[in-house]
A = this chain, B = another copy of it.
Amino acid sequence: MTKEELPGINALQSWKQVIGRFDKALAELSDEQMQKQVAPGRNRLFYLLGHLTAVHDRLFALLGVGERLHAELDEPFISKPDGAVADPVSASELRKAWAEVNSKLTAALEKFSAAEWVEKHTAVSDEDFATDPTRNRLAVVLSRTNHVSFHTGQMILAK
């Protein structure tokens, strides 16, 4: 690998490590435990997993790397707060969706060249990107990696 390729590889390693830690905590939770709230009056772990799955599923379009897999998760887990609608899927279906989305996303990230990592994401216009080239794919992936870390910290408290 060249020096220019290293930052993308580092970002990918960080992404994988953080998802690996979340997955480890998730694997230790039963489907029943997923109905627990992360703290009194807060979201259930089930909702948190649905939320992360929907947010990651939206990355396919945002990074321009293919079609999303689970558009049906947006309404219950992004538009609506926890408890607003009946759970649209079972815990095992949700675990499977989460794994599928991340597996496909990670495969796409592994293909990025150094130049592709710093290409613009699709939610920024050409004009805005010309002014601010930090609004790139790398920024999106770092942000979502932090987002998973944030919720992993909550998840391990509920065990």
Instruction: Please give the residue numbers on chain A whose beta carbons come within 8 Å of chain B beta carbons, in ascending order.
Output: 1, 3-4, 6-11, 13-14, 17-18, 38-39, 42, 114-115, 117-118, 133-134, 136, 138-139, 142-143, 145-147, 149-154, 157-158
Contact = CB atoms under 8 A, between A and B. Distances in A.
B149 A6 contact: no
Contact of A152 (B114, B145, B153): B153
* This chain: copies in complex: 2
25 contacts: A3-B114, A3-B115, A3-B133, A6-B118, A6-B136, A7-B7, A7-B118, A10-B134, A10-B138, A10-B139, A13-B134, A14-B139, A14-B142, A17-B143, A18-B146, A39-B39, A42-B157, A142-B142, A145-B146, A146-B146, A147-B149, A149-B150, A149-B153, A153-B153, A153-B154
B14 A143 contact: yes
Contacts of A115: 3
A97 to B, nearest CB: 22
Contacts of A133: 1, 3, 6
Nearest to A39: B157
A39 to B, nearest CB: 4
